[in-house]
Homo-oligomer: A and B are copies of this chain.
Amino acid sequence: EYPHTWLPILSWLPRYKLKWLQMDLLAGATVGLTAVPQVLAYAEVAGLPLEYGLYSAFMGGFIYTLLGTSKDVTLGPTAIMSLLCFSVVGGQPHRAVLLSLLCGIIQALMALLRLGFLLDFISSPVIKGFTCAAAITIGFGQIKNILGLKDLPPQFFLEVYYTFKKIPEARIGDVILGLICLSLLVMLMLMKKTLDSEAVHSNSTFSRKLVWVVATMRNALVVIAASLVAFSWEAFGHDVFTITGKTVQGLPPFRPPPTWDNTTNGTIVPFGEIVEGFGDGLAVIPLMGLLESIAIAKAFGYQNDYRIDVNQELLAIGVTNIMGSFVSGYPVTGSFGRTAVNSQTGVCTPAGGIVTSESTFNVSLYCWDSLFICSLVISTEVDILPFVVTFLMSFWQVQYGIIGGVAVSGALLLYSTARPKITVSDYGSLVMQFSSGLSFPATAYLSHMVHSNALRASPPRSLVLDCCHISTIDYSVISEFRDMIRQFKRHNVVLIFSNLQPSVLEILLKADLEDMKYTEDVEEALQQLESGNVLDD
């Protein structure tokens, strides 16, 4: 396990070797070049001015080096965080920055309170459902960019409707340039996939390495090329492409994030009102940020054989978001997209509709994956509901998908504790076996089963409870047991507990249930019932 410390850098810096430096510098430069067009694209997904993508990517590197527990994770804007941010603040820069501050504080607090375990309650089907829906939402969002369409409503279904309605308004130059870039990107991506599967090691030739570098940095290269094309046409006075416009130059100023905002008509929106507007985003974004980062760290940890500390990751992301808000950043997290395959998505170049990398291509991969999951889920008849609920609700409002999915999977979990599997068999006397533990939601069902099978039978029958799978018990269940023992006595039949685990027996003995009878195992109970010597006392 990773050593517990608030500053993991202290554990690896003393062991740092100079020959690692070359590798680290190379990796850093590559990631940096790949990152630029990506973070611009993510800013576009978040509905923010493009420079905000760069601002947000700024802090992660420094702080994660100090606080992070995985050597592969790079913090920065991601597709999902951008989409969530857009969904919560609707593309208002001041609020996005404030959101980053608040999310950072919440994440840091969660880390200090060691609440990382909350992540356990977001189940795989919820993650899959959400990812698939996010891929479709982001992917479809790129279509409007390729078509050069503007001013579409943010809600997904309306966006789909208006995209098709406005197809006649598409700008032909944007479409052609967009499609060329897209096919280039897909080609380069497939090339890289082939290279990767052939395992590029130190024994590969220089030319293969070059192809690998080109393929890896394909986003940056395509963006630069497309920008040059668009810029040169523009320079010659042809208005063929939609130019996004200039981005602000230079480093962002270091200043506290704004605690108020202006509406379009100049009214000041106070702090409280802004925070109220964030609503459930303040719960969803910190958790999703952590989730995304952990998913990446897990994938790379599997490859490179290390494990990470969830609460420490939370601290790293939290501090990054807090500091990020001082340089006008919006919420960030670990970015799978930067170095790995699956979450790469669109890039919005200065040449308007070009955008978009392989996102549309990846959508189909995501959904194929999800279909595969569906088939497994259906065949094992579990977990289909959380997946479907998350998927569908994500199109309504992105964060609702997670909330809905978590609620549904939590409800199913609670329902399964309320209706444990109870097997009733007849060996002369009735034997009732519980397939899992009993806790308070199960008491009503337990009572129903005992009454309908034993007490309301005519004549009433004695019952042996096989408790071998019960490892915990609570006050409500003890009360129910007390009640049951009395009722069996009233009906002149016997209730025998058997196969009690030591810890459960201890609690029952402490609770001092009047007339409780128990035996080592079911056979002994059945023998006692047959010989009839249990009714004597």
Contact = CB atoms under 8 A, between A and B. Distances in A.
Interface size class for chain A?
35 or more
A120 interface: yes
Interface of A: 1, 117, 119-121, 123-125, 302, 305, 307, 310, 373, 376-377, 379-380, 382-383, 409-410, 413-414, 416-418, 421, 435-437, 439-445, 451-452, 456, 469, 471-476, 478-479, 483, 486-487, 490, 501, 507, 510-511
A511 B381 CA distance: 11
Given A123-B440, A413-B414, A436-B436, 20 more contacts: A120-B441, A120-B442, A120-B443, A120-B444, A121-B414, A121-B440, A121-B441, A123-B475, A123-B476, A124-B475, A302-B486, A380-B507, A380-B511, A382-B473, A382-B475, A383-B475, A383-B476, A413-B439, A413-B440, A437-B437
Nearest to A487: B302
A276 to B, nearest CB: 15
Nearest to A128: B475
B475 A377 contact: yes
Contacts of A414: 121, 410, 413-414
A305 B305 CA distance: 64
Copies in the complex: 2
Given A121-B441, A414-B413, A1 B471 contact: no
A19 to B, nearest CB: 26
Contacts of A486: 302
Nearest to A507: B380
Contacts of A476: 123-125, 383
Contact of A479 (B117, B124, B445): B124
A467 to B, nearest CB: 11
Contacts of A436: 436-437, 469, 471-472
A410 B439 CA distance: 11
14 contacts: A1-B451, A121-B441, A124-B440, A124-B475, A307-B456, A373-B475, A376-B511, A380-B510, A380-B511, A382-B475, A413-B439, A417-B417, A435-B501, A436-B469
A416 B120 contact: no
B511 A435 contact: no
A471 B435 contact: yes
Contacts of A443: 120
A376 B507 CA distance: 10
Nearest to A373: B475
A419 to B, nearest CB: 8
B418 A117 contact: yes
Contacts of A124: 440, 475-476, 479
A445 B382 CA distance: 21
A474 B382 contact: yes
Contacts of A417: 413, 417
A379 B510 contact: yes
A459 to B, nearest CB: 14
Contacts of A474: 123, 382-383
Contacts of A421: 471-472
Contacts of A444: 117, 119-120, 310
Contact of A1 (B413, B456, B483): B456
A120 B445 contact: yes
A500 to B, nearest CB: 13
A43 to B, nearest CB: 33
Contacts of A487: 302
Given A120-B442, A441-B120, A511-B380, A416 B469 contact: no
B1 A452 contact: yes
A486 B299 CA distance: 13
A418 B383 contact: no
Contacts of A409: 440
A124 B482 CA distance: 13
Nearest to A125: B475
